[in-house]
Structure 1
Amino acid sequence: MFEGIIVIVGLVSLILVYRTITGNCNKYLAFAICAIWLRFFLSAFHTITYPSLIAGFSINALSSISVAGLGLLLIPTKVFTLRKLLPFYFLFLAIAISGFVNLKIPGTINVLVKWCYFLVLAGAIFLSVRAQGQSETFKKLLVAFFMPVTLQILSILLGEVKATENDGSASYIGGYNHEAAFSMIIVSFVFLVGLTQRNAIKFRTSLFTLSVVLLVLVNYRTAILTILPIAAIFYYSLVEQRLKPSQKAPVLTIVTMVLVLVFVALSVSMQERFADVGTLASNLDLIFKSPMYFSEAEKDIMSARVYIWSQYIDALINSDMVRQLVGFGPESWRGVFDVYAHNTYVSYLYEYGYLGLVTFAYLCIFSLLITLTVSDKRLAKILPLSLIGFLTMNLATMPLWNIEGLIFFAILIGVTLALSTNVPSRVHSVKLSVSTPTE
């Protein structure tokens, strides 16, 4: 029955997307909306779109390749030459070098296509914000999330649930395949609603609160940690905007205390789900412990994540110098380990070596620094903390391995680049070429 509901909601979402992009919408925003919607639409039919179809590529993979290719044709070359994108190109180069040295050509192509998808989507959002402003861009982007959000709500109402953990806990993910990828969809939705300005959309506060509740019901703990700073800033700013200067100090003190109490209450209510985080924090040496010396109890910490990390790290440490420098190649874990690393930093260390890890660390630090240069005071708080939350999430899972995670990252980076100070003069000409809202 739920499969039929997915079809109906998908058709409704298609109509809403069509009405949005044919209205007052620049072509770059239209591209971003269609690209994001297409990913969410196809992923809802994962039994059809995930299996290999042509030359080992699935329908999902072919759609990602098509979006990346179309984006390269649509986005002006000047955008890709921004100096602030240089750290990303360093990472791409490290990936290509690792793939060439290890002759992992298919894996290299797959990874670089994903990053190309990120690049064109970030470029499209960058141009849209500069052409039509942040308010219009954020508001219209929300339509792409209609299908997954509606399906999750319906899955809650109809009891369509997926058991995910050994402790018997359940996830409401609207019939999608996996809670990890779906959680990033809802994280992006929370992020976009939080970015919208006051009165930009109706029932903004209610919608934000609903999105936070939906993320909790996805039941993916790393994603919950990601949006905590976003939620704190949202509610704090909401109260602050309604106060007179003389009222701010006492009232905001009370609000801060309430937020802390809510955080404590949430931590207690989900104590079993987060207990392993505390265990790991007090035993960080486990990460570098040889997997053969793990006890059965230690293997179960954080759903076996720590044990998995130790396997990857141990394999690299005991490899030759070339492998330690450039890694074993993109997606080289396949056929070697049973599961992926569940940690972006560990995965990059294994696949791309010290070179890849250093370039990725440089990318993260540089991205954080440019979020601090955003001219909008409200977003100057949200963007850095959102990025910190996202980078923290990468410590226990791999959102950048999924297109859904790259979509969130592209929105964040695209908005940051558009609103950051010291934009090169050559980009101003790009802004003029897209300044007509209806083109």
Structure 2
Amino acid sequence: MMAANPTVHLAPLSLSAKVVGSFAYLTVKDRMPTILTKVIDTIHRNKNQFLEQYGEEGIEAEKQTISLLSKLRNEMQTDKPILALTDELSDTEAWNRYLQRHQEQQGDQESVSWFKSPWLYVECYMYRRIHEALWLHPPISDYDVFNEGKTRTYFESQQAVMSLCSYFEGVRQNMEGLAQNQLFEYFNSLLQVSLWGNKCDLSVSSGQDNSQKTSPIDSLSSLQPFILVDDSELVWSTLTSGQPGKSSAGRVDIVLDNAGFELVTDLVFADFLISSGLVSEIHFHGKSFPWFVSDVTANDFQWTIRQTMAANHKYMSKSGAQWQRYLKEGVWSYHDHPFWTQPHEYCDMEAEAPDLYRKLQGADLVLFKGDLNYRKLTGDRDWDHMVSFGAALRGFGPSPLCVLRTLKANVQVGLQLGQAEKLTSEDPNWMTTGMYAVIQFNSPKSEE
């Protein structure tokens, strides 16, 4: 049920000033400079690689890129004004329009600075400026400064990947003739594996090891009490009820979050949806350039499938080969769009990226993975915890949607009376530890 008068405390583009003011300041002063310093170190450590590949031109590009990133770090730490982008890429105009609107709302260009701007905006802006610094200095423009961490977490999660692929092989072999309740049990288990895969987020750990070491299946029962909202039955109902004029097997879109182990859990879950006949087509959505340390790009997506296919493990390689076939046959497809790497909240998508909004309208269900997607869906605002998820979406609803998210930021809606207070009494930091999770569903029909 939607609250009769949902309360939300809004600054022009963000959480209330009281919440974001101090919290964003600490984020800018701590985590974000740490990530940026690691980016600078990574580029410098690889200067010999640039020399071998590109000669002196590569070394000069490395120096110039580091110079720009060092300037960016100084701007960030000393509360300098947010600057317009200069790289003239396809999304530059959209970014600069957003900044201009922000300046007009603030009424003073000097006030649009790192410490006085919404946390979500400055985080996104930092990653876009990293991209700009590289792009302006060919021939290293396409270098992925986060690739080392993403590949490391994949390899360090090998035991968990092997365990998951072995489990799924058993599911696949027993699929035929399953009763609906048995199929739902498998569905729910793999949905939760994909949910808890979201704990492996390098942007929160500032690039430190955050891989999955244990069997994801074995830990599901112990993690169940930490799921604060569980709408898995509504998701199941959406997939099995069918749409007017359609069979139940339709299209699911998955808006991806992290590479590494989480991506593997998403691919296994997508494989289950196809293998079970619940779905006939999967569209994956990722980022068009490296973003928030560990977010999936097209290179990450293809690399993960190739590595899984080449693994020296029977069921890993079998899974990877099957995923490659899905792509070749068009059952799976990967898509990216500039909107995913812009600062806009998702309620702006229909106006800012109508082509993407129309694409999502073609899905029978859209699964959004992770914390950043949740923040953009809800506007990263200081909502009352009892406001409904549908109300917090503020009109965004191209299709029925579900978020699979472990909590790592100070926003959460759709809780029951007293639930947030109880959590706060047990752990004041419950919204940021990654210990808790939600499977949260909304259908446009439910908000009519």
- Identify which of structures 1 and 2 has the higher relative contact order when contacts are C-alpha pairs closer than 8 Å and 6+ apart: 1
More strand by share: 2
| TM exceeding 0.5 | no
TM-score, with length taken from structure 1: 0.29
TM-score, with length taken from structure 2: 0.29
More helix by share: 1
